[in-house]
Amino acid sequence: MDSEKLKELFQQLTPEEKIAQTIQLNGSLVIENEVMTTGPMHDLGLPPNLKIHEIGSIYNVNDYQKLIQLQRETLEHSRLKIPMLFMSDVIYGFRTIFPIPLAQAGSYDFDLIEQAAEMTAKECYQNGLHVIFSPMLDLVRDPRWGRVMESPGEDVYTAKRFAQSVVTGYQGDLTHGLAENHVAACIKHFAGYGAPEAGREYNTVDMSNQRLFNEYLQPYQAAIEAQALLVMTAFNVLNGEPATGSRWLNREILRERFGFDGVLVSDHAAIKELVPHGFAKDEREAAQKGLEAGVDFDMMTSVYATHLPELIKQPELAALLDEAVWRILVLKNQLGLFENPYRGLRTQHTGEVLSDEAKELAVKLVEKSCVLLKNDGSLPLKKDQTVAVIGPYGESRLTLGFWASVSGKPQDTIPLKTGLLQHFAAENLIFARGYNLFDSYEQFGPLKAGIEQLNGPIEPEDQLLVEAVKAAEAAEVIVLTFGEQFMESGEGASKAHLQLPLKQIRLIQALKKTGKPLIGVLYTGRPLVLTQVEPLFDSLLLVWYPGTMGGIGIANLLSGQASPTAKLSMTFPRSEGQIPIYSAQLPTGRPLTDSEHSDRFLSKYRDESNEPLFAFGTGLSYGMFTGEWLESAVLSETIQLDYRIKNQAEVAGETVVQIYLLQRPASMVRPSRQLIASDLVLLAPQEDKEKRLSLPISVLGFYDNQGAKHLSNGTYRFLMRIDQKETLLAVTI
């Protein structure tokens, strides 16, 4: 619809219809027995006169028939036939579930990440979704927080590249609006949700403006520059104001500084929560503050519906409501919903999912997201070895991670056993559960029976341990699958203790006693504290939550068909006491090295090392790559860094090269090292290649507490990291 016609439509809206457009409800509230009802809605205290067919959006309905039903009823009953907007928590895949974002980011294959996002968008489009609540772009440096699993990790550069790839993959080229097989990205959670004090869910976030501008706001800004069409607010307080109610954050920064003119959605009940935050004296004031902050949708509460009718009697608030509703209509128009309200939906069948192309893409992303943390040569496995595959993940399908279940199905998952049988003879594989993945199924409530049916009955732990040791004794090598279960991370899953459960430690020790090579395959949504058990493993492969095709991709790595290339996207601490611990730390005035002070008076612990167990950027491969700097050149707006890299192996191989900027004196203290570039290099056997990285000179700059950018001439030092070796280069600009 052209803008003039859209404006005419907008001008016909009554105040009640405008308010209704700002309401977003979970679809479960508006559908009962396949039809839209208002019944459960009123559990939310929505006003009885609210016309359900006039509300602006519902979310988390992923069944195409229900979506058709919802849209058909909306068009039949809406006075002006304004289509409903369908949104959903699709975070890393619709039905083809890819590895969790914390894993994907470590692949540094941003083209592949974009392809996976595009495939996700295609599956969403063909099943009727318009907007998906991702990518989540909260920088994270505290593994006690359960939502690190859906983040691209601790590093600014990595998170920015991830943001650009996923937004572009979802939305495609917007020149002519959103094309078919593409959906709108709703990035989240604006802002700073990933830095809660003590790692405690929904807790306070407080940091300097320079840290916001230089680090935590960067990934959101990159997504907005990639034209993300929606943003979701955050639950947390940021520097004394709840993010959802902050005019400074949502108007001055998001809309004015970043130039975002899209739709701002509150997180679940976040406007209403301005009251318990103590930022609004009642829900009426919360509604006013949400509107004044520029929040366009009130997700899942009655605050806007109840209080806006009175509030908009004030002309300035009426004008803010008009702005909000206009942005919502513009988005619906960008999606082409007025011409095609059943966008992407097929009336007779569900859209295409789990295609061969999608599954192949997922296998590749699994292979590129798993991090080889340690390897004494026990990996890759040899073809004719007898392998004891111990641990619940040998056969479990529950490897999708916390957020996959909104649209994903564990039944689709290929277990590790299936993958291994593609590489090893059945008689050479001995499976033993080793320990129960869940201590109880009670936590799953109504889903209990289904999960138990899928994962098997709980058995006596002692018996499982005995069987595991017996299997190990009968084999030449042990592959132990261990770690967290998917409900231990995600939303509402902060943990103060990050060690493995005692039963897993006991099992690892018992298996070590058999004297057989012990290979660990770690499933987890967060960095864990593995300090006690790490020395017992000969090799350790971190697979995070690998998604639908995890079993195939992991087996390809264990067998050597594929070689690991991924790098750690988040630091693994030696103990919780070190947290927050991350790569881009400041050196302090009393660093451990090069300090004139005596040992006691250095920045250190008396009872722990300063070093992590596994540092950000760690990641081995089966190959061997070496490199050296060549020429560098400084042009007007770019720095050219040339380097040579050689594949020392007799087989082709791929590796991730990382370039760090080292600290130099400046008006604001800068990190000791800061990742500023990466390069994914594929080399033939023994191939020696010259490569060039052209970086914008702005990458050397930084912001001060007033948000002003600084960049000065001088000598800059760069560190190139190939495999685990680092070489230094100095460049003067």
Known catalytic residues are 267
Closest separation between CB of residue 188 and ligand GLC, Å? 5
Give whichever of 183 and 370 is closer to ligand GLC, judged by the CB atom.
Answer: 183
Task: Please answer whether residues 170 and 182 qualify as being in contact, where contact means their C-beta atoms are separated by less than 8 angstroms.
Answer: yes
| Contact map string, positions 440 to 479, toward ligand GLC, x by CB under 6 A | ----------------------------------------
Closest separation between CB of residue 390 and ligand GLC, Å? 35
Count Cβ atoms below 10 Å from residue 111 Cβ, excluding itself. Answer: 11
Output the 3-class SS for 448-494. Answer: HHHHHHHHCCCCCHHHHHHHHHHHHHCCCEEEEEEECCHHHCCCCCC
CA 64, CA 339: separation in Å to the nearest integer?
A: 19
Closest separation between CB of residue 651 and ligand GLC, Å? 42
Closest separation between CB of residue 268 and ligand GLC, Å? 4
Give whichever of 108 and 145 is closer to ligand GLC, judged by the CB atom.
Answer: 145
Q: Could you say which residues in the range 105-134 bind ligand GLC, by CB under 6 A?
A: 133
Q: Is 89 in the site for ligand GLC (CB under 6 A)?
A: yes
Instruction: Select the residue interacting with ligand GLC from 211, 247, 268, 277 (CB under 6 A).
Output: 268
Closest separation between CB of residue 300 and ligand GLC, Å? 8
Token representation of residue 412: 């689709």
| Contact map string, positions 651 to 690, toward ligand GLC, x by CB under 6 A | ----------------------------------------
Q: Is 482 in the site for ligand GLC (CB under 6 A)?
A: no
Q: b/e for 579-615, b at 16 or more Cβ within 10 A?
A: bebbbbeebeeeeeeeeeeeeeeeeeeeeeeeebbbe
Q: Which residue(s) pair with 638 in the sheet? A: 696
Closest separation between CB of residue 401 and ligand GLC, Å? 14
Q: Is 138 in the site for ligand GLC (CB under 6 A)?
A: no
Q: Could you say which residues in the range 489-518 bind ligand GLC, by CB under 6 A?
A: 491
In DSSP notation, 382-422 reads PTT--EEEESGGGT----S-GGGGGT--GGG---HHHHHTT
Q: How far is CA 564 from CA 53, 423, 496, 541, 682, in A?
A: 51, 17, 31, 9, 13
CA 89, CA 404: separation in Å to the nearest integer?
A: 9
Closest separation between CB of residue 91 and ligand GLC, Å? 8
Give whichever of 108 and 133 is closer to ligand GLC, judged by the CB atom.
Answer: 133
Q: Is 703 in the site for ligand GLC (CB under 6 A)?
A: no
CA 686, CA 643: separation in Å to the nearest integer?
A: 16
Give whichever of 60 and 575 is closer to ligand GLC, judged by the CB atom.
Answer: 60
Token representation of residue 2: 């052209």
Token representation of residue 368: 């590129």
Q: Is 267 in the site for ligand GLC (CB under 6 A)?
A: yes
Q: How far is CA 715 from CA 200, 258, 486, 643, 662, in A?
A: 41, 31, 47, 19, 11
Give whichever of 110 and 162 is closer to ligand GLC, judged by the CB atom.
Answer: 162
Number of residues that bind ligand GLC (CB under 6 A): 6
Q: Report the chain's C-alpha Rg in angstroms.
A: 26
Query: CB-based contacts of 177: which residues, under 8 Å, 6+ apart?
Result: 333, 334, 335, 336
Give whichever of 118 and 267 is closer to ligand GLC, judged by the CB atom.
Answer: 267
Determine the 3-state secondary structure of 434 from DSSP.
coil
| Contact map string, positions 173 to 212, toward ligand GLC, x by CB under 6 A | ---------------x------------------------
Sites of contact with ligand GLC (CB under 6 A)? 89, 133, 188, 267-268, 491
